Amino acid sequence: MDPFMDDSFEADPTPFVERLPTQSPFPPIADYGFLSDCHTAALVAPDGTVEWLCPPRFDAPSVFAAILDRSAGGFRLGPSSMGVPAGRRYEPGTNILETTWMTPTGWLVVRDALVIGHWRERTQGAATAHTRPPTDFEAHHVLVRTITCIHGQAQIELLCEPMWDYGALPATWERAEGDPMAVDCTDGGERRMRLISDLRLGIEGGCARARHRLETGETRFCALSWSRLLDGPRSVLEAEIALQTTSEFWRGWLADGKFPDHRWRGHLQRSALVLKGLTYAPTGAMVAAATTSLPETPGGERNWDYRYTWMRDATFTLSALNSLGLNWEADDFIQFVADAERNADGSLQIMYGIGGERDLHEQTLEHLSGYEGARPVRIGNGAHDQRQNDVYGAVLDSLYLHTKEYGHNSQRLWPVIEDQVRRAIETWRLPDQGIWEARGEPKHYTSSKLMCWVALDRGARLASRRGKDALADEWREIANEIHAEICEKGVDGRGVFTQHYDTDALDASNLLMPLVRFLPHDDPRVRNTVLAIADELTENGLVLRYKVEETDDGLSGEEGTFLICSFWLVSALLEIGERTRGRQLCERLLSLSSPLDLYAEELEAATGRHLGNFPQAFTHLALINAVMHVIRDEEHAPVSETAHPHDH
Ligand SMILES: OC[C@H]1O[C@H](O[C@H]2O[C@H](CO)[C@@H](O)[C@H](O)[C@H]2O)[C@H](O)[C@@H](O)[C@@H]1O
């Protein structure tokens, strides 16, 4: 029987709207909306359920994790007995989500945000201690939701069912003392959140619940607070002011950027808002994605925790934001790098916790089913103590870019620079796990050597800027040596750069060759490599990192096409003069975005289905670079002048 035609259905409260038996109970990854307060993030399913939230910071244990297991907690606000909204969008220029509902009796609009308000000294607890100077705005550690009936009338429901510690521990609710508008949720110990609402809240076991018939023009609100004072708005007016201030924060931030007047500006702005939303304001760190263990293969084992700061991901992010004129994040992250505790040999770890933590040991959460059964669900990340020699180049490139653009030549950073260059010198000849963090035997990955060349090249430029000419010459000489070895050992018989020195297999990380200016864009080896990847390392025109059957990555199963690689291909095609092909690929990739213009890490090439953690910084930063490549190319020679498919 169709549950929506069944009169008895309304009387049977369920925490989440049921889907038909043939459908997955999980929404498609691409259907989630992303909220952020630059401390933590939330994912909201189309039916209005918050299915992912880790307060107070990105890497904390979740209280809502229905995205990883249908019984691991969620928080729904929406019409009763209806699961599919009429439309969803972000309020332009913000990370505030607006969902519109057309029920049989009336129209509703729900607004959701993690509130960013004016700085308030009294609510900042130790858990959010700032090492970066606070700005005028700060997370208020509260999720605010409003619901308005704009036409007719409709029955609405609120169902808040947290589960502490990634779904392991049911919540206990109790009335907040002396406060008829609030109920408190505890873990039976110290942890506590408060739900405040002008709806009449009832407690049903682990679930706080409310129902109400909303009339035309009427708005109600609810707020879930985990701030130190457990405070939040107390009225619709206060809730709307909180949303207004949040909107001012996002719009003010975006207004500092320089966005071309172009039909793809919306994609650039959404990507910038995602990247900003993945930054952790107190320290300047950035997470690679908001989630853990959304699968890279349906039902597979390639499930990782991305709620940490990879040097590589973060430094690539900075250059993407920089190309849009957004620079504060680079300043903050560079100070995070300077603060980061280095290994005994002076090297930076390849990744850190967002508070600078070094030990990110990996565990599996056996009690969770995983998204559509994809197990294990992991927290922590075993790659944290791997040797990945590209990291020196990634860091040096972004320090060089920052110094070049802003003339900063910070005394504080010079020891970091020297140490990273020295480590690149000491390790560039050694095999490593590579940019893709392969879990097989270490190899002489070509792209790792390439990034060591970047470390020495940028190091030499930085030394020169400091007047250290002898050191610059010494580093330049080693850069030349690395360059020569790559050109000798990293190229196959047909003049294509290979994955590592002992194979002819292709690897998409070699698309970085033209992007980091290793060789001129018209060098035949660069051209051959870009075209070989475009023709041979693609599925339906979208790029794989590598072929799993040719690569010892220590894992089983397939993986989808990697979106960062597909966007890199756009940039690389434009670099080698394949203008039409690059532009068409970019257009196609943009058409594959989620309904809210977000991207996961991978796409299943046959279906366009998004896979992997979500939203993913790698994809959004590469989108910015690719789109900017296309726009600059169009400015340089208008599209109408491009007569042939291959314009080189
Ligand atoms: O392929 C196996 C590895 O997959 C993850 O790494 C990927 O994500 C990182 C964060 O975005 C990125 O820096 C890296 O280049 C990607 O390959 C996972 O984090 C690893 O633990 C895993 O070995």
ipTM of the complex: 0.94
pLDDT-derived band at 19 (thresholds 50, 70, 90) equals very low
Smallest Cα–Cα separation from 68: which of 288, 293, 290?
293
**In ligand 1, which atom is closest to the CA atom of 435?**
15
Mean pLDDT of 519-544: 97
308 within ligand 1 shell (Cβ under 6 A): no
439 within ligand 1 shell (Cβ under 6 A): yes
Among the residues of 214-264, which ranges form H helices? Answer: 236-255
pLDDT score of 111 more than 50: yes
* d(CA 559, ligand 1 centre) in Å: 12
* d(CA 383, ligand 1 centre) in Å: 8
Q: Given this model, what pLDDT does residue 20 score?
A: 43
436 within ligand 1 shell (Cβ under 6 A): yes
120 within ligand 1 shell (Cβ under 6 A): no
**CATH code for residues 3-255:** 2.70.98
**In ligand 1, which atom is closest to the CA atom of 616?**
11
Q: Given this model, what pLDDT does residue 637 score?
A: 74
382 within ligand 1 shell (Cβ under 6 A): yes
620 within ligand 1 shell (Cβ under 6 A): no
* d(CA 442, ligand 1 centre) in Å: 15
Residue whose CA lies nearest to ligand 1 atom number 21: 383
* d(CA 379, ligand 1 centre) in Å: 13
Q: State the average pLDDT for the chain.
A: 92
313 within ligand 1 shell (Cβ under 6 A): yes
* d(CA 57, ligand 1 centre) in Å: 21
383 within ligand 1 shell (Cβ under 6 A): yes
How far apart are alpha carbons 316 and 398 in whole angstroms?
7
pLDDT score of 355 more than 80: yes
Mean pLDDT of 75-93: 97
Residue whose CA lies nearest to ligand 1 atom number 19: 304
Q: Given this model, what pLDDT does residue 121 score?
A: 63
pLDDT-derived band at 3 (thresholds 50, 70, 90) equals very low
**In ligand 1, which atom is closest to the CA atom of 437?**
23
* Residue of 291, 307, 437, 439 with the most ligand 1 atoms within 8 Å of its CB, for mutation: 437
pLDDT score of 596 more than 70: yes
How far apart are alpha carbons 114 and 224 in whole angstroms?
10
Smallest Cα–Cα separation from 50: which of 61, 27, 26, 66?
66
**In ligand 1, which atom is closest to the CA atom of 289?**
11
Give per-residue pLDDT as tens, 397-440.
999 988 887 776 678 889 999 999 999 999 999 999 999 999 99
**In ligand 1, which atom is closest to the CA atom of 350?**
13
Residue whose CA lies nearest to ligand 1 atom number 11: 288
316 within ligand 1 shell (Cβ under 6 A): no
306 within ligand 1 shell (Cβ under 6 A): yes
* d(CA 231, ligand 1 centre) in Å: 38
614 within ligand 1 shell (Cβ under 6 A): no
pLDDT score of 224 more than 90: yes
* d(CA 312, ligand 1 centre) in Å: 10
544 within ligand 1 shell (Cβ under 6 A): no
Give, in order, the Cα–Cα distances in Å from 524 to each of 58, 489, 497: 45, 16, 11
Angle ∠(267,269,270) on CA atoms, nearest 5: 65
* d(CA 310, ligand 1 centre) in Å: 9
What phi, psi does 157 have (nearest 5°)? -140, 150
Smallest Cα–Cα separation from 131: which of 294, 462, 352, 317?
352
**Which residue has better confidence, 548 or 121?**
548
Smallest Cα–Cα separation from 143: which of 79, 68, 203, 195?
195
pLDDT-derived band at 391 (thresholds 50, 70, 90) equals very high
**Which residue has better confidence, 10 or 565?**
565
* Residue of 436, 564, 618 with the most ligand 1 atoms within 8 Å of its CB, for mutation: 436
* d(CA 309, ligand 1 centre) in Å: 12
**In ligand 1, which atom is closest to the CA atom of 288?**
11
Segments making up each domain of the chain, as ranges: 3-255, 265-637
Residue whose CA lies nearest to ligand 1 atom number 16: 436
How far apart are alpha carbons 539 and 114 in whole angstroms?
38
How far apart are alpha carbons 486 and 150 in whole angstroms?
64
The reply to whether CATH 1.10.10.10 applies to domain 265-637 is: no
* d(CA 359, ligand 1 centre) in Å: 17
pLDDT score of 644 more than 60: no
Residue whose CA lies nearest to ligand 1 atom number 17: 436
How far apart are alpha carbons 194 and 223 in whole angstroms?
8
Smallest Cα–Cα separation from 342: which of 423, 286, 285, 401?
423
Q: Given this model, what pLDDT does residue 10 score?
A: 37
Residue whose CA lies nearest to ligand 1 atom number 7: 436
**Which residue has better confidence, 185 or 2?**
185
**In ligand 1, which atom is closest to the CA atom of 555?**
2
Domains 3-255 and 265-637 share a fold: no
Q: How many CB atoms neighbour CB 41 within 10 A?
A: 26
Give per-residue pLDDT as tens, 173-206.
999 999 999 999 999 999 999 999 999 999 999 9
Q: Residue 642 has which token pair?
A: 């491009």
* d(CA 295, ligand 1 centre) in Å: 12
How many helices (H) and strands (E) are present in the chain, helices listed first? 14, 27
Smallest Cα–Cα separation from 403: which of 348, 455, 465?
465
304 within ligand 1 shell (Cβ under 6 A): yes
Provide the percentage of residues in the chain whose pLDDT is more than 90.
Answer: 82
> Following CA atoms 461, 462, 468, 472 in sequence, which dihedral angle do they give, to the nearest 10 degrees?
-40
pLDDT-derived band at 642 (thresholds 50, 70, 90) equals very low
According to DSSP, residue 433 is labeled -
